[in-house]
Structure formats: C-alpha cells, structure tokens
Amino acid sequence: MRTNQPQTIYLSDYKAPAFLVDQVDLCFELFEDGARVHSTLSMRQNPESGSGAPLELHGDSLKLEFLALNGTPLLAGAYQDEGDKLVIPEVPAEFELAVVTWIEPQNNTRLEGLYKSSGMFCTQCEAEGFRCITYYPDRPDVMARFRTRVEADKSAYPVLLSNGNPVEQGDLDNGRHFVTWEDPFPKPAYLFALVAGDLLEKRDTFSTCSGRNIELRMYVEPRNSEKCEYAMDALKRSMRWDEEVYGREYDLDIFMIVAVDDFNMGAMENKGLNIFNSSCVLASQDTATDAAFQRIEAIVAHEYFHNWSGNRVTCRDWFQLSLKEGFTVFRDSQFSADMGSPTVKRIEDVTLLRTAQFAEDAGPMAHPIRPASYMEITNFYTLTIYEKGAEVVRMIHNLLGEELFRKGSDLYFERHDGQAVTTDDFVRAMEDASGRDLSQFRLWYEQAGTPVVAVTDDYDESRGVYRLTIRQSIPNTPGQTDKKPQHIPFAIGLLNSAGDPLPLNLNAEERNGPLERVLELTETEHSVEFHGLPERPVPSLLRDFSAPVRVQYPWTREQLLFLMSHDPDGFNRWDAGQRLAVDVIQSLLGAPDDAAVEPRLVEAYRHLLNDIELDQALVAKMLLLPSEAYLVELSDQADVPAIHDAREQVMKHLAHALRDELVACYQRNLDQGDYQLSSEAIARRSLRNIALAWLLHIDDEQALALAGEQFDNADNMTDRLGALRALVNSGFEHERNQALAAFYQRFSEDPQVVELWFSVQASSDRAGQLPQIQQLLQHPAFDWKNPNKVRSVVGAFAGQNLAAFHSPDGSGYQFLAEQVCRLDDSNPQIAARLVSPLTRWKKFAPHYCEQMKAALERIRDKSELSRDVYEVVHKSLA
C-alpha cells in the first residue's frame, strides 16, 4: 500500500489488454478469521494486441496459496510476485489459470475489496478493489462472465448474494451452506459484488415495458425494517422513467439493493446488486429529513440508471470515468427534475457546482472531465468528473434538442452495448445521430478550468439597437495554459422596463423573433445586435445556467432587483437575488457593525416573504443567503472571519427588520394535516424552518417558544431537526444543550440520526468550536472506522463550519492535519478527501494561507504516506 514516490499513470500510455478473460469461476469460503478465494480464469491472448507479452495480474494485500496453469501447479520460479502484480512470463495462447488467495476481510479498514461491516461481509470493487480479493487483470476493458459460489456459516450468514441470478444452493457440513450466482452479462471486475449476512429481505416486483416480471429485493439489518419503503418506491419510479424517457429496460430477472453502514462513498452500481451506504437508502418520516428523502430518490435512480450508462456500456479505462458518471448524473438530474420542481433542482445543482466544483477547477487538483493523468484513481471521483461532467452532457442535450439527443443516446447504447468505450465514442454517437459537428465542443473534455464569460453592452437609441459584446477566457490550470475558446451555449432574453420579455430580432427586418435565444459562442469574442428596441432593455444572461461558466456583467442593484421580480426564467430570478445579496455582503466586508445594510435588499426580502403567488419552493430558495463557502469562492484573498461577520450582519439586520413577516410566514406555513412528501408540503416545511432559523439567530423569545414546541411535537425529522438546528445556532445556550441532550437520548440507537446530531453541532460556529469538536470525537457513538461518523464530525467542521475552522490561531488547520494523518493508516480514501479544505490555501489572506500551508507540510512529512494522500498534498504544495 505504501510507496515512496507513487507513479503517475498517463492516458497517452493506454494499451489494449494483452489478455482477455472469458469466464471467471469464483468460490468464496467465508470464515471469522478470513476468507479463502478460489478463482478459475478462462483466458486467452487478445487478438488485438501483439503476442508474446507476459501475463500480468493485479493484486493488493493478498496471500497467494495456490497457482496452477492448465491444471499444473506453478512452482516458485515460474512466476514473480511483485507486490502489486503477479507476473507469469510464459503462457499459451489460451489457458485456464487457477488461483487461491487468503484474505482478511475482518481487518480490512480501507473498505476496498471484501470487508466486514456490522457483522456482514460486503464488497466495494470500484475502482480497483477486486485486486484486493484475488489476482486478476483489474481494468475495466477486461470484461468477463462471472459465476460465483459463496459458502458460509448458515446461522450467522443466512443470506448469500452476488451478481446475476441464483442458480444453485444447498447445505454443507458443519452448519455451513452455499449459494451459486451466475451473471450472464460480461462485466469488468469493478462491478463484481458479494454480500453475506443475517439480513432482512423486503420483496416487491416490477413489470417491465415488455411484460417481464422483475423481482425487487432490499436487504437490510432487521432494525431497519421500517426504513425501506421509500427507496423501493423510488426504484420503481426510476425503472419506469428510464423506460419512458430513454427506452431502457432492465435486463436481469432480479434487482437487489443492500444497505451497509460502513461505506466510503454514497452507493455502488454493481450489476444486479447495488450496495448503498445506509444513509443514502434508509429513511422514515421520523428519522429522515426532506433533503434526505430527495437525496435517496436521486441516488437510487443514479445507481439504477448505471445499469445502462456504466454497466451495459462501460469505460475503457479510468480516464473515461465521466463517460458513465457525467452521463448518469445528468440522467438522475433529469429524473429528479421530473419528480419535483425543475427550477428548484436546477438551483440546487448549480449551487453545488458554483460553490464546490468551481473551487476545485480553480485549485491545485483542477483537471479536465477527462483527465490526462492521475496517481490514485480514487482521488478522481470528483465534482468535476460528476457534476461538471453532467453539465457537459446537458450542453449537448441543449445543443441537439430533446429528440436528437434521444436519437444519439439510442445510437450510443445500440452501437456500444457490451463494450468498454471512451467519452469520444459518446460524442461521436451524438454527432452521428444529429448531424452536428461537435469537434470544438470536445474541448470541454480536454481543458480544465471554468470559462469566464464577460459581457458588456451598449444601446443606440437612435437606431433602437442593443448590442452585447461577449468575451470568453479560460484561466490557466496546473499543466494547462493558453487555452482555446470553447463552444458555449449561452441562453439569453431581454426585458423591457415593464418586465415584459422582448422579441430577439437579429436584424432590422426581423419582427417577431423568439423571446429567448441560445447564442453559440465559439470565438474569443462575439458581438450580437438586437433590433427594434424602443428603450434600453435589461439583459437576462445564461438562463437556466445553460453552461458551466462564470458570467461577468456590471449589473446595477436596480437591475438585479428588477430581474428578481420579473425574469420569466425562475433560475435567473433566484440568481439575481443571490448576486444582489453577494454584492451587499461584500460591500460590508470590514465595515463597522453598525454600517447600513442596503434597504432595497430588505424590501426585496419583505416582498418575497409576502409573495404567496410565487412558487413557494422557489421563495424558500430565494430566501437563503449565499453560503460562506460561496462567498469564499468568489473572493481573492479570503478573510473568512470577515466574510462570516459581514454575512451575519446582513442576516441579523434582515431578521430584525422582517421580524413580523417572519413570524407570519412561520404561522402561515404550519401544517394542518398529516405529513406528506409533496413539493408543496416540502416547501412549507422549508419556509417555516427558515423563518425559525432567522428569528432564533436574533434570539427572539417568541421564536424560542415556537422552536421548543416544534422540537417536542414534530411528527417528522425535517421539523425536529429544523428546530434543533435553529436552537443550536441561537444564543440560548441552556435550551440548546437541553435540546441536544433530548435529541440524543431519543435517537441514540439509530446511527444515521446520531450522524445528523454530530453534524448539526460540528457545522455550527456556536456549538462546534474546536474544544467541542474534540469532545465529540470522544463521544461513545463516534467511531473512527465508520466514514459517516468521520464525515459528520471532522468533515462537517472543516467543510461547513468555516469561521471555526479558519480560526486565526491556525488551530483548526492543525487539528485537521492531525486527523488526516491518523486516518491515513486505516482508510486512505477518506483521509485524502478530508485534506480538501486545505488544498486551496493560496486563496486565503496571507495570515491564513501560511498556516494552511504549514498544516499541509505536516501531513506531507508523515512517514509512510498513502498514495491517496500523497497525491493531494504534493499537488497542493507544488
């Protein structure tokens, strides 16, 4: 696992595999002190690569017990064990290789390969976990049929699962039993999965568009019996949606979901056997917030959609990761938009993109959505690959239109079914189906960095002509300078002073041009004229966030206020409000506490609070001030405490000025009936909890009483947690502590709710100062081996509690460095992810930046650094 200087792997070095695997026969003997894995591989030379190469199999932390070629055991001299590789210099053109390895899942804290979680055996093989199970050509372009026999003690592990369909089962001696599974679809090893445990089974069925009946099964620990219904329903909605929108039908007879507590990521799309982090699949009204329900729906859909975009058509190599992830995130975002409010979904996606992906794209780990090199692939499961990747697919969708995009996706699936392909193959299918030339568009896959689109305008009153001048530039990123202009779809509209949309006439003769146009920017500079305009219009730019770019335009506050209430594009209405709030907060940076807050912002928010005509879900989004993280992202030499203070000043001013409206909003949005998960009910809960949070932020006594009542009597977690969060972030220390204690007492047996309890504290500048964080780490429910617990305390502190993390004495940075070093030995993937808040050290004011750098150096100097952390730290310090 440890190397002094990890190697860099380059896309340009890609070579087709020298050997292919047709069939894999596996037998797992599972015991308490380890597992024996018997593997028989039917292999042959790849006709597409030259003959004579030695056979090389990947391996990691394996004990080799037996090796035989065509039935003849291989003695020590006939192969070399090179630590991460097993090399057999001479093999025939076609052969059978038998391998037996011994592994120790019970000691596997990296959670890659086969490991144990809450007493059950489970696997995580993406990206390179299969090599921790047995020696194998562990690369996605080697696709094989798998037959898997699992043997274990019958009473401890009554449920034995793997990919595909069960074909045989029976009892063995000594109270053991076995089940054999066969997956008819060739797949890369990263999609292999196995689960063995004492699990409760929930059953349902789905009838596909061609009339096939699919068995749906969820496997959970018995205590989670009541938390499966929502995910099961979401699964059925996803299956139907993929048939209707993409024409994709499920292919096996059975589809299984398993929930595990210890998991490095959210979930995994193993063929026919999806494995989920418990927090991304289990939910009940009492224990999950509305946001959690929505997240579950999106992740269930995401993993299910991978069955086509990822499994049936997979990636040739890991540089192509966005082929499956970008496309699948785009598909799940379309699904979520269809299930709820498209505008709200767009706002949520863009918030994440602009806050975190733009930051990544401007930092030391910036990479194109198809990277050219990496050291450790698990570091590349990034917002860039996922979210920017999805934006790139969305742009193709917008350029081609619904119908041609569908034609392109049909062609892609048909042409490449059963293959391991590249992002270029995806774009080519889109080109071939649509007749469009996407050659310049391909630069989105090659160039890193967020393009800046700077817009200026002028109006010629005598001619009635309004001209937009649009310049694009792409900032330098590590290893990439002098970038070429990209193909950017730029959606715009114009409004007159009454707030009506204007026809966009491109010449003097045109009369009734469309009310919205998508300009296709391909040059560094474009100039577009709009004719027939009797007055200077207000531009609405980058509607619905039609491209992942930063728009610069010298908006006046007047224009932003106007767009906030008139733009027919819901996304841009919200965006205008955000820009206005950013402008107001930025103007208060370093100002005295009693500096005046823009009165027009107060009036705009008053208007929103009273506006019962506008979609209330949109109102709830518009009332949220830009986050500290976003404000940091927008600044050059960020002084976090100053940003925090300015934002607090605005929030407190708004809360005082709008106190009565907030109380009224709270009262108006109280629920009368039973708990529902409709968009309307979610918006009501959201509004009343925002009102509560604001009021408690100014220590309003009436709100304290309302929060207490809501906390005690809530019939759902959104409200209970909303009240708890508001109390935790208030100055009412006694009530805060009381509520925290009561909440813990009520939910101490539920690990997912305990994670919420940790993160509410760790992300609050009032309850999550460093000494309190240290205390949380000592809490009996905290567990260093459980990634969710680590994320809910250490991750929430460093990622969401910015004021405390960026304490001027540097203690937050040193704390994080210490925790990263500690985790690096047990779970390097999680350790590397936790480094992230330190990586952007150059962005902060000198005092902070020096101390962040020192913390990174401390991590760098740890002995035996994992490859994962090595890559992030060295690139950050370069």
Q: CB of residue 302 vs ligand 0A1: minimum separation in angstroms?
A: 6
The candidate with the shortest Cα–Cα distance to 130, out of 65, 191, 43, is 191
Q: What does 265 interact with, of Zn ion, ligand 0A1, none (CB < 5 to 8 A by kind)?
A: ligand 0A1
Smaller CB distance to Zn ion: residue 306 or 806? 306
Nearer to ligand 0A1, 310 or 489 (CB): 310
Long-range contacts of 873-877 (CB under 8 A, 24+ apart): 873/835, 875/364, 875/365, 875/478, 875/839, 876/363, 876/364, 876/365, 876/835, 876/838, 876/839, 876/841, 877/853
Interface pattern 109-128 for ligand 0A1 (x via CB under 6 A): ---------------x-xx-
Does the protein bind ligand 0A1 through residue 325 (CB under 6 A)? Answer: yes
3-state helix, strand, coil in the chain (%, to 5): 45, 20, 35
Residue closer to ligand 0A1, measured from CB, 307 or 807 = 307
* Options 101-109, 172-180, 262-270, 568-576: segment touching ligand 0A1 (CB under 6 A): 262-270
The smaller minimum CB distance to Zn ion, of residues 328 and 333, is found at 328
Tokens 């990622």, residue?
799
Q: What letter represents residue 148's amino acid?
A: T
Can you say whether residue 556 is alpha, beta or left, with left for phi > 0 and alpha for psi between -120 and 50 degrees? Answer: beta
Question: Judged by CB under 6 A, which stretch of 211-219, 259-267, 484-492, 755-763 contacts ligand 0A1?
Answer: 259-267
Which residue in 271, 269, 274 sits closest to 257, CA to CA? 274
| Minimum distance from residue 306 beta carbon to Zn ion (Å) | 6
Residue 264 binds ligand 0A1, judged by CB under 6 A: yes
CA-to-CA dists, residue 696 to 642, 692, 764, angstroms:
22, 6, 14
Mapping DSSP to helix (H, G, I), strand (E, B) and coil, where does residue 725 land? helix
CB of 139 to ligand 0A1, least distance (A): 15
Pairing of strands 273-277, 254-260: parallel
- Between 129 and 537, CB nearer to ligand 0A1: 129
Structure tokens at 88: 């057999």
Q: How far apart are CA 639 and CA 646, in angstroms?
A: 11
CB of 598 to Zn ion, least distance (A): 42
Binding partner selected for residue 267 from Zn ion, ligand 0A1, none, CB under the kind-specific 5 to 8 Å limit: ligand 0A1
Contact region with ligand 0A1 (CB under 6 A), list: 261-269, 426-434, 488-496, 519-527? 261-269
Helix (H) or strand (E) holding 314: strand 314-315
Site for ligand 0A1 contains 280 (CB under 6 A): no
Q: Is 792 in the site for ligand 0A1 (CB under 6 A)?
A: no
Q: Which C-beta is closer to ligand 0A1: that of 29 or that of 325?
A: 325
**Among ligand 0A1, Zn ion, none, partner that 126 touches (CB below 5 to 8 angstroms by kind):** ligand 0A1
Element housing 146 (H / E): strand 144-153
* Binder of ligand 0A1 out of 60, 269, 567, 750 (CB under 6 A): 269
- The entry of Zn ion, ligand 0A1, none near residue 426 (CB within 5 to 8 angstroms by kind) is none
Closest-approach residue to ligand 0A1 (CB): 265
From the list 35, 57, 99, 267, which residue makes contact with ligand 0A1 (rule: CB under 6 A)?
267
Q: 319 or 574, CB closer to ligand 0A1?
A: 319
The interface region with ligand 0A1, picked from 179-187, 265-273, 361-369, 475-483 by CB under 6 A, is 265-273
The residue assigned the tokens 């090599």 is 131
Q: How far apart are CA 255 and CA 273, in angstroms?
A: 6
CA torsion sign for 694, 697, 702, 705 is: positive
Q: How many residues bind ligand 0A1 (CB under 6 A)?
A: 14
Interactions with ligand 0A1, residue window 294-313 (CB under 6 A): 302-303
Q: Which of 609, 725, 602, 726 is nearest to 662 (CA)?
A: 609
Place of tokens 């990206």: 127
Answer with the entry of Zn ion, ligand 0A1, none that 268 interacts with (C-beta below 5 to 8 A by kind): ligand 0A1
C-alpha distances out from residue 467 to 494, 527, 532, 555, 871, Å: 11, 7, 12, 16, 47
The token duo for 367 is: 């990479």
Give the interface size with Zn ion as a residue count (CB under 5 A).
Answer: 2
How far is it, in rounded angstroms, from Cα 412 to Cα 399? 17
Cβ closer to ligand 0A1: 313 or 502? 313
User: In the stretch 716-735, what mask flags binding to ligand 0A1 with x, by CB under 6 A?
Assistant: --------------------
**Contact status: 400 vs ligand 0A1 (CB under 6 A):** no
Q: Which of residues 101-140 bind Zn ion (CB under 5 A)?
A: none
> Which of ligand 0A1, Zn ion, none sits in contact with 819, Cβ below 5 to 8 A by type?
none
| Distance between CA atoms of residues 362 and 839, nearest Å | 11
Q: Indicate which single residue of 150, 260, 268, 817 sits in contact with ligand 0A1 (rule: CB under 6 A).
A: 268
- Choice from 319, 380, 381, 426 touching ligand 0A1 (CB under 6 A): 381
101, 134, 309, 378: residue in contact with ligand 0A1 (rule CB under 6 A):
378
User: Closest CB to ligand 0A1 among 269 and 719?
Assistant: 269
Strand 9-10 to 200-207 pairing: unpaired
Q: Which stretch binds ligand 0A1 (CB under 6 A): 219-227, 260-268, 586-594, 800-808?
A: 260-268
Question: Would you call the peptide bond into 127 cis, given omega within 30 degrees of 0 as the criterion?
Answer: yes
Among the options 112, 128, 221, 303, which is catalytic? 303
Give, in order, the Cα–Cα distances in Å from 777 to each of 263, 482, 571, 797.
19, 47, 40, 12
Beta strands in 317-424 (DSSP E): 373-374, 420-421
What the block records as the tokens of 867 is 């490859």
In whole angstroms, how close is the CB of 280 to ligand 0A1 at the nearest point?
Answer: 9
Residue 303 a catalytic site member: yes
Task: CB nearer to ligand 0A1: give 303 or 569.
Answer: 303
User: Residues 29, 34, 40, CA angle at the centre, nearest 5°?
Assistant: 40
Does residue 276 belong to the site contacting ligand 0A1 (CB under 6 A)? no
Angle at 314 between CA 311 and CA 315, to 5 degrees: 150
Select from Zn ion, ligand 0A1, none the partner in contact with residue 108, using the beta carbon and a kind-dependent cut-off of 5 to 8 Å: none
Minimum Å gap between C-beta 878 and Zn ion is 29
Nearest Cα to Cα of residue 146 among 242, 267, 42: 42
* Measured distance CA(275)–CA(122) in Å, rounded: 8
* Residue 381 touches which member of Zn ion, ligand 0A1, none, C-beta under 5-8 Å by kind: ligand 0A1
User: Which of 494/832 has CB closer to ligand 0A1?
Assistant: 832
Structural contact between residues 308 and 276, judged by C-beta atoms closer than 8 angstroms: no
Least distance in Å: CB of 870 to ligand 0A1? 17
Interacting residues with Zn ion between 324 and 383 (CB under 5 A): 325, 328
Q: Judged by CB under 6 A, does residue 317 bind ligand 0A1?
A: no
Angle between helices 599-610 and 570-587 (to 10 degrees): 150
For the CA atoms of 397, 372, 860, 264, the dihedral, rounded to the nearest 10 degrees, stands at 40
Question: Which residues are identified as catalytic?
Answer: 303
Interface with ligand 0A1 by CB under 6 A: which residues? 124, 126-127, 264-269, 302-303, 325, 378, 381
Interface with Zn ion by CB under 5 A: which residues? 325, 328
